[in-house]
Amino acid sequence: MITVDSLTKTYGGFTAVDDVSFTARSGRVTGFLGPNGAGKSTTMRIMVGLTPATSGTAHVSGRRFADLPNPGLEVGVLLDASAQHAGRTGREILTIAQRTMGLPARRVEEMLEMVSLTADEAGRRVSNYSLGMRQRLGIATALLGDPEVLILDEPANGLDPAGIRWMRDLLRGYADQGGTVLLSSHLLHEIEVIADDLVVIGQGRIVAQGTKTELLAAAGTLVRTPDLPTLARALVDADVEFTRTSDALRVEADPDLVGRLALAAGVPLTELRAGDGAGLEEMFLELTADTQRDDISEGAAA
């Protein structure tokens, strides 16, 4: 289990993480979502002791990461697959980690087989690896100590469709066996398929959290029309709350009411349906519409 309580991180006058609290539970995959610069990477770096918090706490299995006597046996971490030593081979990187954790040598070959890195690939220098191969090596390192918790930042980045499917099945099986998975990804469809719980962050603050089912079920009604301004005025006149995305409205009312209001206003509709069928992408865009920061690098400011 991962427990984050009132976590805050400031850099001078900039607050990267602002009073963040959530729990990632055992036996479940928690999707950690947010636009660039939202605070995801900073939060995850604090969890694993790479960045000190200004205030608040982050505990893994009830303790701070820094207090774990042999962290690799309790938490597997993959934050940046490109940060591996480029001059070493994949097998050397795993062997160093295996010896550091005091594990039997056979674990190296077991992990190489698990992540489908061949003997030839394991013998290559990491500088000659594709990004997808580096991701597989990073997952192998994270799983080497058979930990109870996984903290993964964009683990599917660079993987082809088959690799993404492999990653999904691997993490789903890990959680089903009782492990805790905290997964950050910009591939919203993959999060929607695999996640049990969602935590959405924007501008350093939690904007929504709960089970995936609860959050998607609370999505209201999705409506599209070529005349959004007129429909919006009709909703305002009827005192019906709504939010606007780039090409649609998400209305806090049932589809029947929205359809009647549109008809009375003479507005043609191209789509009208319950929002829970709209999927994670549209829910994400709605929740983070006011917190998009594409001009800020996640690595630098989050």
Tokens representing 78 are 């993959």
pLDDT of residue 240 exceeding 50, the answer is yes
Q: For 220-278, CATH number?
A: 3.30.70.980
Q: What is the mean pLDDT of residues 64-93?
A: 93
Choose the weakest-confidence range: 3-17, 39-53, 126-140, 271-285.
271-285
* Helix residue ranges, H only, the chain: 40-47, 90-101, 106-114, 119-122, 131-143, 161-176, 188-194, 212-217, 228-237, 255-265, 280-287, 298-301
pLDDT of residue 163 exceeding 70, the answer is yes
pLDDT at 300: 41
Tokens representing 194 are 């695999």
C-alpha 21/C-alpha 3 separation (Å) is 8
pLDDT at 297: 40
Q: What is the mean pLDDT of residues 139-164?
A: 92
C-alpha 176/C-alpha 257 separation (Å) is 41
Q: For all residues of the chain together, what is the average pLDDT?
A: 88
111: helix, strand or coil:
helix
Which position has the higher pLDDT, 254 or 48?
Answer: 48
C-alpha 34/C-alpha 37 separation (Å) is 8
Choose the weakest-confidence range: 35-39, 80-84, 246-250.
246-250
Using a pLDDT cut of 70, give the percent of the chain over it: 90
- HSE (CB half, 13 Å, CA atoms) of 131? 10
pLDDT at 301: 43
What is the layout of strands, in order, in the sheet containing 180-184? 75-78, 149-153, 180-184, 29-33, 197-202, 205-211
Tokens representing 135 are 């991701």
46: buried, middle or exposed (CB in 10 Å: 19+, 13-18, 0-12)? buried
- The amino acid present at 137, given as its one-letter code, is L
Q: What is the mean pLDDT of residues 132-137?
A: 93
For the chain, the first-to-last Cα distance in angstroms comes to: 23
pLDDT of residue 298 exceeding 60, the answer is no
Query: Tens digit of pLDDT for each residue in 16-66?
Result: 999 999 999 999 999 999 888 889 999 999 999 999 999 999 999 899 999
Closest CA to 258 of 244, 242, 246: 242
Around Cβ 99, how many Cβ atoms within 10 Å?
11
- HSE (CB half, 13 Å, CA atoms) of 107? 21
pLDDT at 260: 93
pLDDT of residue 212 exceeding 60, the answer is yes
C-alpha 116/C-alpha 90 separation (Å) is 12
32: helix, strand or coil:
strand
Which position has the higher pLDDT, 286 or 4?
Answer: 4
Domain ranges of the chain: 2-210, 220-278
pLDDT of residue 140 exceeding 70, the answer is yes
Alpha carbon of 120 to those of 49, 87, 90, 159, 173: distances in Å? 34, 16, 10, 19, 27
What is the 8-class DSSP label of residue 296?
S
pLDDT at 217: 65
Reported residue count of the chain is: 302
- State the pTM of this model: 0.78
pLDDT at 247: 77
Angle at 151 between CA 122 and CA 295, to 5 degrees: 100
Around Cβ 275, how many Cβ atoms within 10 Å?
22
| Assigned architecture for domain 2-210 | 3-Layer(aba) Sandwich (3.40)
